[in-house]
Each structure stands twice: as structure tokens, then as C-alpha cells.
Structure 1
Amino acid sequence: MTEAPSKGLVLVVEDERPIADLVRMYLSRDGFGVHVEHDGTAGLAAARRVRPVACILDIALPGMEGTEIVRRMREDGDWTPVIFLTARDDEVDRIIGLEMGADDYVTKPFSPRELVTRVKALLRRAAGPQEGRVRTLGPVTLDPGRRQVTVDGRLLALTPTEFDLLGHLLGRPGRVFTREELLAGVWGYASHAGTRTVDVHVAQVRAKLGGAASLIRTVRGVGYTADA
């Protein structure tokens, strides 16, 4: 079922219908359009068809798991922001989800208001500032206005969270950020995933930077810095 969007259309893929209805109600109250599917295969088809502004995906879905939906979206070059909504509280499952390209996750039971807040925060990050200083460090150039990162002129495909994490580090080269500071500055709220979320996203950004990965340096026992 799809409702006319005002703030944009959010895709919700959740096989527990009462939870799906609850999420739809809170998103709708906040002005979002909502499209709901109850199995993974239909969810992936909907992601390709309705072009949502964000996706909320359960991990344990019939037909196709949420992690597989994200993997296929990213393979298609679809970098729509994704939040996992899951009953799994195992760190391995959370990390796998983030490594597949998800931006955040919420563990059941959850606050519907918090979930909506996270969707709005993620969309603000995805939109980014309309203008801003272009930042260059070594072969890496980050353009906030265009939401683009290049390495030696090669355009990188980054999730909204990966882009903002790199931008945060490049904004103050040489400054060492603790993991807690990066959580607050990039995610904008206390993440239940904890500081491990930062580590996973840094690893993802490094992998995409390729030969320029050494620009992001780990400061043992403290956090991370961007340094040429």
C-alpha cells in the first residue's frame, strides 16, 4: 500500500504486520508517504520501482533477507539511505548489515518516535548543505554542495553516512576525533550500535578510497584522524 508523500516516500519492508502498521502510522503523521511490503523479494522490487527517499528494512524476512536487499541495491548503484529494523541483537548481525551498506539500525523493541527521528536525521545528512567549502587532502577531494568525493578524479560511490564521516574528518585535517565525537558529529544522536559502528564505517570508507586509504589514520585507544 502506498500513500501520497509530502516529505518523500519511505519504503518499509517488515513481515510483522502490526509493526509495519505502527511504523507507517508514525511516518505518515510526520508527513512522509509510506510504501509497505511484507517479504524481501517484493521489498527489493519495490525499492527498484517506487524509488523511495529512504528504506526501513527488517533483516529476517521471508523470501530474501534485508541484508541481501541492501547488497543488491548497492550493486545496482542505488545508494538510497537504509535503516535496519531488527529483533537481532547480535553484534555480528549488526556489523554485517552495516558492511552491506546500511546507514543505521534500530533494535526491536523500539520507539516509533525515535525511528522517525533517525529517518529525518539520515535524510538531512543525505541532502547535505547546498553549499560549502570544497575540501582536498592529498588525492581526495570532497565537494559538500555536490555531495561528491573523488580520488585522483575518480568518483566514489558513498552512502550518506560514509560521505558525512569522511567530510567530518577532512573538515579538520590532523585533528584526532574520538569515536564518541564522531558518533555525535556524524550520526547526530546516541547510536545503540555504539562505537563499533564508527569502526565499521571507517573500514568501508577506507576500502572505497583504495590507494588513498592511508589518509585516514587510526590513533590507538583514541579514534581517527585524516592526515596527508
Structure 2
Amino acid sequence: MANPFKDLGELQRDIESYLRTNRTAMYNNSKRISDFFEMACYNNIVRFYENNGYEISLRNLKSNKFVYKTTTAGNPANYSYFEVKRKIGNIDLIFEIRHNINVQSYHANDTFTTPDISIIKPNSILIDTTFYTNARRYFYIKNRSLISFCEVKNFNPYPELLFSYIGVVNELRPYLLTQRRFVNNKHIASSLMISGKSNSHTDRIIANLQSRYHINILCDLFNIGGVTFGRNSFRRVKTV
């Protein structure tokens, strides 16, 4: 089985190359390979929207540098994000692609989880000063402000990882756990993005889950991430 852990320098060059096309630079705030893979997946989601006809803008740069939020903690105002915009008639539809934002459960208002990548409604981040016992601020969005989300795992896929992802989908977007028809699809469906290549057993599990649920499970992204989200193949990814 192929090693899922890509050379750190190669992965960083991939990220910096994409940001250079947007006339900015990466603020190097992490040395962990898993963080760099998460950044690369974040950029691939941006590419998906770009290929789907959205106008892409970088927001909240710091000294003209894009600062990734590679931690679940911290004030989102201290980090950069991408804004995507699509025009329908005279109406501009605007969304934000955010990194590590706390999202309220679909089922319970006082329960939260933090997807690695979230597509959200603009200006929807709220502050709660009662979440922690010491009145520290908790930043989150309500479930209705979530458009879609992606989980990123720097592993080879294995059964428990695949099944646990379905639990996150149930918590945030339970209606995706049926195969239903989505009209005017322009957002990526909830996706599990995995660095490593699957084996025959996990291939069967992935095929089974994707046949039952309206989700994407995307493997081997270290090797074929650019192809998966490229102009010639991005339409194979399920949308909502």
C-alpha cells in the first residue's frame, strides 16, 4: 500500500504555488504534515468552487499573507479565509470557506463539533461567553448557517474511520444519509478527504457507503488530489 505521508517540502510547495496564483503568500504557522495536508485539501475545495463558476476572493489577509486556521481554538477573526460568489440574475450568492469552525449540532443546540473545512453563510460566526466556566469566548455558527463540510484525515483509510465519519454526517447533515435528488447543485456534498490509498476491503466499504448516502469519500489525495478536483474530473464529485 502506498505511503500516505507525502514529503513535507513537496506539499508545502503545492500550497504556496496555489496561493501565488492568488497574489499572496502562506504564513508558515505549522510544521506538521497533517496540517499541510489539511491546507492542501482546503485549497482543493476552493478549486472546486472556482471550477463551478464561483468568483474567488481572499479575505482577512495578515500583512498580505494568508493565515490558515490549523487549530480548533482561537478567534476566527485572526485567520484568513476564502469568499466565493456566484451571481443568479441580479442576486449575488456569497459564501465563506472556513477552516476549523465550531458548528452546532443539527439535533441539539448545546452540542458542537468542528469540521476541518466548512462552507458557511457569510457573517454567521457568533460568540458565546457561557460555554466555558471561566467566561472565555467560544466562537461557533448555528447549524442553519452551515452549507456543507469536509473532514480531512492524513491516514490510509480503514473501516472504523469510514464508519465514524458517518456519525459526523448524522450529527450535522442527517438528510444526506438518504440518496435524494438535489436541484441546482453548486455546493460540494459533505466529503471525507483521505491522504492514503484504500485496499480492496475499504474499497467495498466506500462503494457501499456512497451508494447508500449522498456523500463523497475521496482517497489517495496525496497522489491524485489535483486530478480529483481538476477541471476535467471535478464533476464526478457529488454536490448539493
Same fold? TM cut 0.5: no
TM-score (normalizing by structure 1):
0.26
TM-score, reference length from structure 2: 0.25
